[in-house]
Structure 1
Amino acid sequence: MSTTDTVIPAPGRGGPRRGKRGRAPWEEPGSLAGRLGKGGVIAVVLLLVIFPLYAILLTSLSDSRTVNAAGGLVLVPDGISFDAYRQIFSDTVVSRAIMVSTGVTLFGTLFSVALSVLGAYSLSRPGSFLHKPMLFSVLLMFVFFPGIIPTYLLVSSLGMKDTYLSLILPSAISAFNVVVLRAFFMNIPRELLDSARIDGAGEFRILWRIVLPLSKAVTAVVALFYAVGYWNAWFNAMLYIDDSAKWPLALILREYVVNAASLPAGTAGVAGYGHSVPPTLAIKMAIVMVAVLPALLIYPFVQRHFTKGVIIGAIKG
């Protein structure tokens, strides 16, 4: 027998049965029917995701005649009109809501990621101060969550009512994100951290110079979770914000699209451009697209970190 021949042991004798090229069964390429089935499932899922976005985008870019002829969402294009986008951006309420949501998302994400990283790093060190009680408290948050009324009374008693802090502090930290970060930090070799301590590095320097550079993937994914949460949050604004000038875009979207409320003053700005007034449905879909677009633009740059950042860290932890 030549050295290039592959020995295939019998089942139950000497290990798993190997294929023609010495690979395990799960390493063999799938059958034609299996590949076609997987491709069909992926195509159906992709269609279910893309089709609603296609209909929303096309409706937001249609004029009143096309929307009326379609009797609802437009599926066949018949010209492009940007009147709906001109109207929502000429309205000061929507423009201000976009700025509020952008500011809350940026500052809230930075604040939440900083808190989560600090908390997760301290909980990943067995000898940290109050390690077991703090870890128990974080795990307890998976089971018990404070009710709406106690949270509302606490926010009001701290003077955060009708302020932007009420949109950030009540949801500043997530127990799930802390546990995921902690699991990833615990996988970093302890010898690497001990060598840095021998060289005189403090804990903050170790975290900044060693731990965070090795945890870019999981930190990026956690930051995305926080950013999407802040951008889409409307419930805290509905509870704590009375001034409509401080409403985020998600609350404007809920009030106008879900509750069918009319846009406040400022919608007459389109007439100055010489365009016809766009239909109500087109304006609704334009607001939906403005609310969805940031997540669609950011996700492709972060999705490659999901498997490496969260899934691996959670499994190993």
Structure 2
Amino acid sequence: MKAMTHSRYLAFVILVVALLILPTGGAQATNAETDGPVIHRVQTGENLRRIAARYGVEVEDLMRWNNLRSSDDVVAAQRLVARVPDQPAGDETSGGVHIVRPGEMLAGIAERYGLPEDAIKQFNDLQSSVVFVGQALRLPPTALLANGLVATADYVVQPEETLADIARRYEISVDDLATLNDLSPASFLRAGQRLIVPSTGETPSQPRADVQKKVIVDISEQRCRRYEGDQLLDTWPCSTGMNNATKTGHFQVQSKLTKAYGGTWDIWMPYWLGIYWSGGTENGFHGIPWNATTGRRIWAGLVGSPATFGCVMLRDNAMKELWNWADIGTEVVIRR
């Protein structure tokens, strides 16, 4: 009986050791993931903190790899670089991701892949040609730049248009158009949505180009509404001035900056659209500001209630969309 028990114990030990030595499929899959950048498509309700936790990285890494100005600057269906390899990949095929190496400049990266520098800038929403080590740059598919297509341009989606309609208009495939805009080929579009499209240097005719743009800010509701003609495109929560500090009346967008400095409060305000002067200070629309000295964001949890010193504040993703859409001279109505 004792001999039988001892034999069974030895067999159990041998089995456990064998299982520990044998490689597992899960380990191989994890290693395979490090061969190149991991791309994550943002799901509804996700934020950078949740995505960072999923991939075991820091929020600051996601912001750096994806050229994000704030941790709120993500939307559903957006594609993000969620993890990068320890060593930059040497793949020369465009349509992928390039990790910036020490000493590289954007012009050299563009030349390496045979792509226009402006196309890479627009595809990555870069405001300048400055890049930094470790930054992940998405490369536009070469199919979009073939046949004389040397740059990209903005296109405003018209009522009832589909990706297939716009793809036919610009003579590219639906897959390429979807890739260029971080969309699924089956994505539904809404009127007023802005897409990146190939440009041949000519400006194609675009329906309803003469439709008047207008923004209405309702102080009592703390809502900002965007219109083209009589068509309502969006309704966003916003924050106006405390103690009725925001003026009412009819205005126009008079200045447009990627960010504006508020010297009185030592803050930076992203996606600035100036609309009127109050004494020596210009008031306008902006995203969530941050302290210029510490970098700490302020008022982030206050959107939807009066919080500013007179400006109109929106969440960054909404403000970015408004900033891209609005022109100098766009009508603005502020009412109670």
Normalising by structure 1, report the TM-score: 0.21
Larger radius of gyration: 1
The structure that is helix-richer by fraction is 1
The structure that is strand-richer by fraction is 2
Q: Which has the higher contact order (CA 8 A, sep 6+)?
A: 1
Normalising by structure 2, report the TM-score: 0.20
